Structure 1
Amino acid sequence: MKSDLPPLIGMSFEQMVQLCHDAGAKPVHAERIVASLFRYYNSDISAIPELPNILRSYLAEHTSMFEPECTALQQAEDGTRKLLLKMPDGREVETVLIQGPGRLTQCISTQVGCAVGCTFCLTATAGLTRNLSAAEMAAQVIAGQKIGDFKVRNLVLMGMGEPLHNYDEVAKFVRIASDPKGMAFSPNRITLSTSGMVPAIYRMIEDKLPCNLAVSLNATTDEVRDRVIPINRKYPIHTLLEAVRAYIKARGNKRVLIEYVMLAGVNDTVEDAYRLCELVNGMGCTVNLLPFNAFEGSPFQSPDDAALSAFREILVAANIIAVVRSSRGNEISAACGQLKTEVAQRRKSAA
């Protein structure tokens, strides 16, 4: 990819229409470009059918095309697949395909590494290298669509990185993904997960970003959350949930997902369960209880089944929808909190 030219897959439909206009071609050709990119996953400008030569030449001169190299592909027994993708600058990111009945959910990375520093997350141990562009996020989707047995139906921005630390590019990607003239995913099938970037949540409200919101809460007291999610020292639980309630109200009481990674002896007590009920009371949210996915060097452990069940039953008794989410792709380190590129791990081991 020519790094000084904008990638075509990172452009909105309106930008593609403008390209056609600038080239002296008809706007209808923008629809053919979109179909080639996002329906047939074609990464070669010269192979896009039915384009006038003047437009083909203009695109070659003013835009670029790239397809990340898949340097590793692993598959778990449950059908989960993890792709390691090398971007044009040599940096690598992971994306995960989670098998469902007749469909795929794809977990998208938004950064190379992460700066938030959640203590239960393997990605955090690598630190942040750089943000990904909207084009690099779109490229992950295309790579996933190419290898999947089924069409990718759901996108979750829960891979490497904190999406709201990279707001502009993430918002651009979400709009491309949700545009009927772009990737054509329903906004209800796109979920953005955040560790609690409060100002960016308000920005999502203002921008009417077309996606669902998930919030990684993971504690019921500021004392514990300060320890497991350091950003809590800046945006404590009360401030975060105030923003979430504002989001729900602005979105017409649309349900928000509260993610709660269960850490044995840290946040899994009966008292925690009752406090969580109080925190989300009346919010109309769904609580996802995620057993901690272990990785080498972590001090945490997952609670046993009895503790998980008791915690969930307290929430359900308070009329809160609560689901214990099973780990997928654990043996290939593709489960929640386990993503970290193999290259980064090798570098750390060699240091």
Structure 2
Amino acid sequence: MPNENSYEVAQRRSDEIRADLAKHPGSYTMLTGDRPTGRLHLGHYFGTLKGRVELQNLGVKTSVLIADYQVITDRDTTEHIQENVYNLVIDYLACGIDPDRTMIYAHSAVPAANQLMLPFLSLVSEAELQRNPTVKAEMEASGHELTGLLLTYPVHQACDILFCKGNVVPVGRDQLPHIELTRLIARRFNNRYGTVFPEVDALLSDTPLLPGLDGRKMSKSYGNAISLSTTPEETAKRIKKSQTDGERLITFDPENRPGVSGLLSTAAICTGRSEAEIADEIGMGGSGQLKALVTEAVNTYLEPIRARRREIEQNMDFVKDVLHEGNRRANEIAEATLGEIREAMGMVY
């Protein structure tokens, strides 16, 4: 019998949920979010944003967290954080997140949700925290020492998911250990004090990971990403500067030709065509023709999002109102959940 925490079981459960979402959207509460460490890019859009809008439009209860406290898990400054937070809200709205149907809120503005950390930390051992592979990966990627906040990062994520009784979380395969720990915390709390929290499942993304312009993982730190807020001119410049190779014939070969293949993948996801088909069309046209095609594909795809973005940017009062209202709603939900926890633990005085 396969282990409950295996990828195969998680994938099967995810497929079952995906099939049921359209029939019973009201049975699901979804939470997802982003750290405000910079601008959102094409990889974020196809990896998560597009899916969030689809779930919202199906009628799933959706919440989007701006994880400002998590910025300091592996950084020593909060410089530009306010600007980054507001830009996240603008990107969300431009991509189709509707604040009337989706709660957008910030970590630091919801004290009751963060207070769940105290009982939750008593439910996990240090060894369980040390074993989490994503914490190790985060630490290695940032080159930062292991802070107490980074070590307990998965517990903080459990607070984010469980304060609103989230039962589905859209994640990639690498984030599954966080879902496993959240499920473990919920079960241990329910077993110890009485049932308060639901079972939590991963909704695994079926979108392939979009590589950056150089074929590596698309990342702000690698400088190989196209931000949603980038102008068409800056997009063209960035694509033009991207490294390819000296071979004239364009072929899709991610292992041996990462730069060319990264560009082909970007064009493919923006046009709905396959990489091989685009490569065949360009043939001996070389990297110049490929870059021109990618530039047009990206700018055409992003045009409506950028137009909405420019409109929203002109009304910062609205952007702030969206966040204030999301924070208010999140506080209401968090206070109610904290009340249930106190009741279950016999801590009502």
Which structure's relative contact order is higher, taking Cα pairs within 8 Å and 6+ residues apart? 2
Task: Work out whether the TM-score is over 0.5.
Answer: no
Bin for the TM-score computed over the shorter chain: under 0.3
Decide which structure has greater strand share: 1
Decide which structure has greater helix share: 2
TM-score by length of 2: 0.26
